[in-house]
Amino acid sequence: MSSITLFTSGSTDQPKDVTHSWDYIKKCATKSIEEIGLTKEDRVLDVFPANTIAHYTITGVPAFLSGAQYVSSNFSAYTYPDLFRRFKPTYIALIPKHLELLLSSKGFKDLDMSCVRYMVTGSSKIEQSFIDEFKNRGVKTVANWYGMTEVPPPIMIGYDSPAFDLNTIDHTENHVMFMPLQATGTNLQHCIINGKSTGDIFNMDTKEYHGRLKEANGHTWKNNF
């Protein structure tokens, strides 16, 4: 079966190489379409490079398969606001690093984003202030997807909050569990998928992403499955 090697967005660590089959890419892109509700009436603004798994499973390929209008551009905090105003996307995907850069841009200060009905952000630790920046600009839904790029479709999704909804875990394709860390004094647990640790730590009291195990070294999970 033919395959393609791509890179993660680096939202939790340094970008990691991930190898998936083309059938798997299409399957994951279809899942994204279903979750987002993408149709040919949507407008997708994609700032992820074409060599990233996010482009194939979250933005670009879902846009093509759904027949949505599609614009792709390298991300620049200074040109993004103008591009956004001209295209008026209904679906976008940004990671916290993007917001950090946008906050330094004058054009972002008064940007009306009410045209966006769904926005995806990455697996890193998301602050409520990140979500509020976009909700206050009119974005209807900010969805925090965990696990989309290494073992898509997303393992967990959180809506308009840093917390993940554990009820969104679908065990039909991946067996997901959490194992307590020893001697931490807190309810920190690391995520295990199909019997292998992802290296990602969650605070199970708040249901939020906490960090990565030091021994994880940013290596991709997919090579273990």
Q: Is the pTM of this model over 0.85?
A: yes
Whole-number pLDDT of residue 10: 56
Q: CA 65 to CA 211: how far, in whole Å?
A: 34
Whole-number pLDDT of residue 138: 97
Number of structural domains the chain divides into = 2
The more confidently predicted of residues 18 and 218 is: 18
Q: CA 105 to CA 64: how far, in whole Å?
A: 30
Q: CA 117 to CA 38: how far, in whole Å?
A: 10
CA 16 → CA 25, 68, 212, distances in Å?
17, 29, 14
User: Looking at the structure, do residues 80 and 180 belong to the same domain, yes or no?
Assistant: no
Whole-number pLDDT of residue 9: 57
The more confidently predicted of residues 170 and 178 is: 178
Average pLDDT, stretch 5-27?
71
At 100 the three-state DSSP class reads helix
Instruction: Tell me: pLDDT of 41 over 90.
Output: yes
CATH of residue 54's domain is 3.40.50.12780
Full domain range(s) for residue 204: 175-215
Q: CA 161 to CA 144: how far, in whole Å?
A: 8
User: Looking at the structure, do residues 91 and 190 belong to the same domain, yes or no?
Assistant: no
**Cβ pair 225, 151 in contact under 8 A:** yes
